[in-house]
Amino acid sequence: MPSCVLAYSGGLDTSVILGWLQDQGYEVHAVYVDLGQPCEDREAILNKAKQCGAASARIVDAQEELCRDFAFPVMQWQAKYEQVYLLGTSIARPLISKVCLQVAREVGAEAYAHGATGKGNDQCRFQLAAEALDPNVKIIAPWRDPKFREAFPGRSEMIAYCQQRNIPVKASVAKPYSSDENCLHISYEAGALEDLTVDGLNLVEFGMTVSPQDAPDKVETVRIGFEQGVPVTLNGERKSALEMVRSLNTIGGRNGIGRIDVVENRFVGMKSRGVYEAPGMTVLYEAHRLLEQITLDRDLMHLRDRLAPEVAEMVYYGFWYHAKFDALLAFIRQAQKVVTGEVTLNLYKGNIMVASRTSPNSLYDEGIATMEGGGSYNQTDAEGFLRIQGLPLRVQGRVTPRSW
């Protein structure tokens, strides 16, 4: 009997897919990759998978790895897809594939199944990551299979299937949108959000943040310490990567930090609308950027800034395990070696304001920068500097004069 691993959540879709894969003759090993998504009872999810015929079912907690090895390097790049999206869902998918393939290797499964649709980005992220790690893996994507879509054109058919097979599913009132959550963020899309005239920030019931209008009418101060670009202390206390993100989710969330509403360009070619909240990562991005202002060399920072959109695009598309991305990660590790210090921020009703920044590696020299006299900068030197810089302009101006 052929066998496969299934990235399993215990929801309606993956419950149906678990049964359908067995109908197709597969032995199914269910893998719940714990990335901080909310659910009532993880053990109940495992028991459900076993009751539904899974050959094995397990939970793998990958939250720390997600923050430390995936989210933080992307933050060090200051990478935001199309300038705003912090890539919380995109970052998680290659890790899910890696964990599922590790289980597949352990149980001897030759195939990897997931519940991503044929319209979205996640199918790309799951498959591209899996094929990079195991070029021989067989990918099973039921939503791309016409037979599956014919059998399950809607939720009612899926619920009926579960009832026939005694698969427990909760009857619930569907929200006017879908959501996906991990410890980095929550995304909201589809349903009523597909209408661009709908105010998404008012429609969505946010899970991590209060609205800026409802945030406290007072400033909250936080101090974040970095070592080589990695956030390690919060208000003087040492934190693991996951503890840092969770703590800042709470702090940023209660101050209305990190909500966005964006129409983005999916890898598959269509535009889609997403509403996102990422309070902790939004605070970390800003603290990190402020520390880099005093520790990174100008040309190095500008090079990083030119490459950051490329990094964001690769993460968004699903090319995490790619030779170019390996090189980019090596670049940022080297660039971040001097990004050590502490940043103090004031949070107020959705705003992040810098209070102070310090670093033993600071390149800021008050004696040079001051508008007062003295210091090691000789303003007379600028005369020659500008004559040299202006040389090609003067030559061009003589040869091809401009109308003015």
Instruction: Tokens for 59, please give them.
Output: 């939970």
Q: Please give the angle made by the CA atoms of 18, 19 and 25, to the nearest 5 degrees.
A: 95
Alpha-carbon distance 345 to 400, whole Å?
A: 51
The answer to whether 4 and 113 are in contact (CB under 8 A) is: yes
Residues 192, 198, 199, 204, Cα dihedral to 10°: -10
Q: Which residues are the active-site residues?
A: 13, 93, 122, 178
Helix or strand (DSSP H, E) at 246: helix 241-254
Is 29:5 a contact under the CB 8 Å cutoff? yes
> Rounded distance, CA 294 to CA 339, Å?
9
Answer whether 239's CB lies under 8 Å from 47's CB: no
- CA 79 – CA 309 distance, rounded (Å): 6
Burial class (CB in 10 A: 0-12, 13-18, 19+), 233: middle
3-state secondary structure of 223: strand
> Which DSSP state fits 250?
H
Specify whether the CB–CB gap between 209 and 253 falls below 8 A: yes
With 0-12 / 13-18 / 19 or more C-beta atoms within 10 angstroms meaning exposed / middle / buried, residue 79 is: buried
The contacts of residue 267 (CB under 8 Å, 6+ apart) are 121, 124, 316, 317, 318
Backbone angles phi, psi at 242, to 5 degrees: -65, -40
Q: How far is CA 114 from the centre of its chain?
A: 19
Q: What is the token pair recorded at 4?
A: 């496969």
Whose tokens are 């893996």? That residue is 137
State the Cα–Cα distance between residues 96 and 2, nearest whole angstrom: 22
